[in-house]
Chain A
Amino acid sequence: MRESSYKVLPGPEGYLPPAAATMGVMLPDPGQAIMEGESVDRDTALRAAALKLIEARNPVFFPGPLILWDWKPGVAEKATALKELAEAVGAKMIPMPDYRPKYPMINPAIEVNPNHPNLTIWHNKIDVCLFIGVHCHYANLALKIIRGGTDCYTIAVCAEAGHEEAMISLRDAGLCELQRLRELVIELKGGKNQ
């Protein structure tokens, strides 16, 4: 199999960047994560994500429908953990409530949409964002459009196989990863909670 030299980095990469997967970037194996196009172990990725979040000028979380709605057992706990993480980071939350194209009706101050996520990034001057609870197809669309048009650093906390379109992506991530990320944020901030 071909080794990829393609790096998944903050953009703007240009008009229409290629899908990272077609450039040879592979999703991580179970237990691993992916960082800027390369497989790394989960803890390295979690630590790097925590660092990116605390160093950010304006970190924003983009929770999607799968976590915004308490639609099946286990979601409420994750949602609470996500809120606690956002508080530890000092990050704002801007929801992605659904996936219908909303341009030009979108209010980028209060929502983000997978068909034009760049509008929300630009409007709010977001330098690091975190995706969670977004269906994988729409997450990949949005993450790639963000790489194409903005310089935002993207982190994906994915409950399935992960996202090569994100600069850092976890896979099979759940409550435990959110809690670990919060611990790391607190630790890296020097032990001070919030």
Chain B
Amino acid sequence: MKTGMLKISPGFEEIMPPEYRELVDNGPYGKDYGIGDLGSYKELLEEHPLCAGCGLALSLRLTLASLPMPEDTVIVGSTGCSALAFPQVALHNIHSLFGNQNAVASGLKRALKLRFPEKEKDVVVIAGDGATADIGLDMVMQSWLRREKITTIMLDNEAYANTGGQESGMSMQGAVLNMAPTGKKFPKLSLPEIAHTCGCAYVAAASPAKPKQLAKVVRRAILVAREIGPTYVQLYSPCPTNYKFNPKETVSLIKQREKDGLYQSKEYISQEAQAFLESIEVKK
């Protein structure tokens, strides 16, 4: 975004709806805000229609607050619960189809590089576990194999939530869900390890139960994608509606899972990414 692009035309200040005036006066573009600043500025995400206690909504809010350069970030989403929130996000974002997000992002990133060779444009994919690990897995992996400089973020609620709670490749073995009436017969896919093998320069698993960690990995992933190559972040984001737990207990459920050894945060950093991160993180 050119500096000063988001300026209300003279004489239109009073008629512009308040949510936009706030975005201009107190938005995150061009500022170096992080999650510590939440509550003190106008966030990118307006009111959204996701369920109360939705883990994915929490992850999305924290992710958007952690973008290193929102003014030059374009997001590619996919069909699923998060797509219902994206019309409310004050960033250019694309919903194309279910599962093709990494292919769309590959074309988008290369095209933006052509049009703005001198400028960084961060392309971030944010999609569900079904979109990422099942129907779109080939395109996700192929974008990594091709070393596309994009960040892939999975909002992992361990089910196809938007279509009513069906089993996905990310559901735990034994989970009883729609289309798995007698329990899932095979284990949760280890996508972080696959991402690592496929050449992602930076891979992390985190959750909104530890917001600071989530913010750190999202930021690292985007910065590494910009400089080095593909990155992957998996965010465990439980769904109270389909897993039928109390919406107030989303965060405690994550913590319990961690205690039980059924969820763990992870980070794989390539040597090149490590050197790069050290160079910028020391500077700061």
The answer to whether B8 and A101 touch across the interface, beta carbons within 8 angstroms, is no
The contact string, 1 if C-beta is below 8 Å from chain A, for chain B 3-42, is 0011111111001110010000000000000000000000
A100 touches B87 (CB 8 A): yes
B47 CB-CB contact with A under 8 Å: yes
B140 to chain A, nearest CB (A): 27
Mask of A49-91 contacts with B, CB within 8 angstroms, 1/0: 0000000000000010001111110011001100100000000
Contacting A at CB under 8 A, from B76-124, are 87-88
Most chain A beta-carbon neighbours within 10 Å: one of B8, B9, B10: B9
Which residues of A lie under 8 Å from residue B20 when comparing CB positions?
97
Query: Is A80 a contact partner of B6 (Cβ separation < 8 A)?
Result: no
> Does A75 contact B9, Cβ atoms closer than 8 Å?
yes
Instruction: Give B4's nearest chain A residue, CB to CB.
Output: A70
Residue of chain B at shortest CB distance from A99: B87
B8 lies within 8 A of A69 (CB): yes
In the assembled complex, A48 has its CB within 8 A of some CB on chain B: no
The 9 A-B pairs of least Cβ separation, nearest first, read A79-B9, A100-B87, A83-B11, A70-B9, A70-B7, A71-B5, A93-B15, A95-B15, A68-B12
Task: Please tell me if the beta carbons of B9 and A105 are within 8 angstroms of each other in the complex.
Answer: no
CB-nearest residue of chain A relative to B1?
Answer: A71
Task: Indicate if the CB atoms of A97 and B9 lie closer than 8 Å.
Answer: no
Q: How far is the CB of A69 from chain B (nearest CB, A)?
A: 6
A69 to B87, CA, bound (A): 19
**Using Cβ atoms and an 8 Å threshold, which residues of chain A touch B47?**
105
Give the shortest distance, in Å, between B24 (CB) and chain A (any CB). 9
Contact A63-B12, Cβ < 8 Å, known A97-B17, A97-B20, A101-B87 = yes
CB pair A95 B9 closer than 8 Å = no
- Decide if A71 touches B7 in the complex (CB within 8 Å): yes
Contact, CB under 8 Å: A110 / B11:
no
A71 to B10, CA, bound (A): 11
Cross-interface CB contact of B16 among A76, A97, A100, cutoff 8 Å: A97
The 8 A CB mask of A119-132 against B (1 = contact, 0 = none) is 00000000000000
13 A-B interface contacts by CB (under 8 A): A63-B12, A67-B9, A67-B12, A68-B9, A68-B16, A70-B7, A71-B6, A79-B11, A93-B12, A97-B17, A100-B87, A110-B17, A111-B17
* B10 contacts A94, C-beta separation under 8 Å: no
- Name B6's contact: one of A69, A76, A83 (CB within 8 Å): A69
Q: Is the CB of B17 within 8 A of A76?
A: no
Q: How far is the CA of A163 from the CA of B9 in the complex (A)?
A: 24
> Which residues on A sit within 8 Å (CB–CB) of B17?
95, 97, 107, 110-111
Nearest chain B CB to A96's CB is how many angstroms away? 10
Question: How distant is B25 from chain A, measured CB to nearest CB, in Å?
Answer: 14
**Closest residue of A by beta carbon distance from B24:** A69
**Are B88's CB and A69's CB within 8 A?**
no
Closest Cβ–Cβ distance, residue B172 to chain A (whole Å): 36
